[in-house]
Amino acid sequence: MPYAEYDQGSIRYEEKGNGEPLILIHGVGLDHTMWNQQLENLSESFRVIVYDMVGHGGSEHPPGPYFLPQFVEQLAALMNYLNIEKTHLAGFSMGGMVAQAFALKYKEKLKTLTIMNAVANRTEEQRKAILTRVEEVEKTGPMATIEPAIQRWFNPDFLNMQEETVSRIRKRLQTNDPNSYLAAYTLFATADTQLWSKLHQIDLPTFIITGEHDVGSNPEMARQIHEKIAHSEIMIVPNMKHMLPVEGYEIVNEVIRMFIDKQIISVK
């Protein structure tokens, strides 16, 4: 199990393939293994790197509260450790927030940005719903929120036909460190307010994608991000819910490859 060391601790990561680097950032409560299908497939074209964010999986678990700059500097440290000057970057859900924050601070380190199933500009009702879940986690621990999350994230047919995959996601959620998860989930519930007013500053090739039936990171949010980021592209995947990289991995792999390849060709 490879680890990158930096001044804040260690970063658990995996990499596979050759070519231009592509770093993938997982969502809150998950870890690098959510990208298994991307690691296998996209590594045929790119040097794919996946890792565990601060407070997740095998990476460092500092005490909370957590702040977006911690996650941004963790990624910068990983790139430095791996001698990567510029990369393609894709972030899912909370990872999409981290990717946006990274693009705002370290534009020179990025070739392209993919924002996947990400939250933006929550309404008052949406904010109230996520903060209610934060309160529930704080009072009773994360266990009570796991099954509702699974139901929000996957379509019923996928739940029935891909029990092994769903069980792996469920186990990941069940084995999170409670304090780290609460700190990360609290950040996830509030960080979109820090990013929204700055999104127009992102001016590198950006691809925005979400599922048609994603409740928490809905198509309207994706459209708003698209409107904020000049020259961005957007895709709403029909009949998909939140866990698009897992349930819809074939679509995700294809469109990420096409988007990056198009940018590479345009530069040449």
Give the model confidence (pLDDT) of 236-254 as tens digits: 999 999 999 999 999 999 9
Question: So what's the pLDDT on residue 267?
Answer: 67
Structure tokens given for 193: 């307010």
Which pLDDT belongs to residue 268? Answer: 59
**Phi, psi (deg, nearest 5) at residue 166:** -65, -40
Alpha-carbon span 104 to 144, nearest angstrom: 35
3-class DSSP string for the chain: CCEEEECCEEEEEEEECCCCEEEEECCCCCCHHHHHHHHHHHCCCCEEEEECCCCCCCCCCCCCCCCHHHHHHHHHHHHHHCCCCCEEEEEECHHHHHHHHHHHHCHHHEEEEEEECCCCCCCHHHHHHHHHHHHHHHHHCCHHHHHHHHHHHCCHHHHHHCHHHHHHHHHHHHCCCHHHHHHHHHHHHHCHHHHHHHHHHCCCCEEEEEECCCCCCCHHHHHHHHHHCCCCEEEEECCCCCCHHHHCHHHHHHHHHHHHHHHHHHHC
Domains, in order of start, for the chain: 3-267 (3.40.50.1820)
Gyration radius (Cα) of the chain, Å: 17
Give the per-residue pLDDT at 144.
85
* Of 263, 4, 256, nearest in space to 116 by CA: 256
Other beta carbons less than 10 A from residue 163's beta carbon: 11
Closest of 86, 87, 85 to residue 25, by C-alpha: 87
What is the C-alpha separation between 185 and 220, in angstroms, rounded? 22
Residue 238 structure tokens: 């029909």
Positions in the chain short of pLDDT 50: none
Predicted pLDDT at 207: 98
- pLDDT for 1 equals 79
Contact, 3 vs 58, CB < 8 A? yes
* Whole-structure pTM value: 0.97
